Amino acid sequence: MRRETLRLLAQVEKQGLDIAEAYRHGYEISAQFTDFKRFIEKVDHFYVFIDLVEERLPGFDGDKRQSLTRHLADIRWRITIVEVDTTQIFLVRIGETRKPWPLGSREFLQRRLSRLGDIADYYDQFGERYQLTPLSDVMLRAVENLLKAQIELAPALADFSDYAASYMVPTGDAVRPQDMALRLDRGGRRRAPQPKAPPRLPPPPFRVREMEGRFYAERDGIVAVSEVCRNANFSLDQLASRMGVSRPTLVLMLNGSDPMTRPMMEQLQSFLDKNGHI
């Protein structure tokens, strides 16, 4: 177990260095939303990975465990600094170019705004204990103000039609009202057909296999469960809390790396059955 934990720690260190190197001084970040979203996905994956290693530290003796805990806190905080800095760079660049935000990006930006509170809470809890370098209050306020400004411009899923009419269409391609031709049916009061929203696809099936009374999810289980959670406006963190496990533990089970007991599998299946149908 200790050897496996140290191996995972080495992977965390490499992953952290790769992120820091790739995004140092704003490298790899343009004014494209997809670039920034890809960065956030990498950072979120890193945090899940480092949580997994931290969960295994109690297997070490006191001094060694404390040393590793402090080392992980330092790595996590270094990536957090990169996260905040890269967020600021991206928001400044997209603000300068005035690029339109894609549908649903308001919710994404609101999560980034909430993330600033999580970062502040983490520093309040561990900053002094592990002598972490404090983030500049000026920078945090600047990122907060940039996020709030862009949230006002970003379309939420509920109001995308208004946004598409007023902001998403480039000015040069807009159709002026006086150039539009209305064809009315003089013989009746039938309303023009409204465009239908694209149908939502059902989530992929969640499959498990049983081995010696334990249940293992197929490797695409994380995709199936994440899709159901998204449709139900339910996060993996909330699902993990409901099941009485941590998020890293849930991710390992959904990837088929760790087994589930029958009660846990039945609880998960009940959640999927309730929320997985469209």
Q: What is the SS3 assignment for 214?
A: strand
Query: pTM of the predicted model, to two decimals?
Result: 0.58
What's the pLDDT tens digit per position in 211-234? 877 888 876 677 778 778 877 888
CA–CA dist 17, 40 (Å, integer): 16
Amino acid 198: pLDDT: 45
Amino acid 21: pLDDT: 86
Amino acid 196: pLDDT: 52
Amino acid 261: pLDDT: 86
Amino acid 103: pLDDT: 85
Positions of the chain with pLDDT under 50: 159-188, 190, 192, 195, 197-198, 278
Q: What is the SS3 assignment for 201?
A: coil
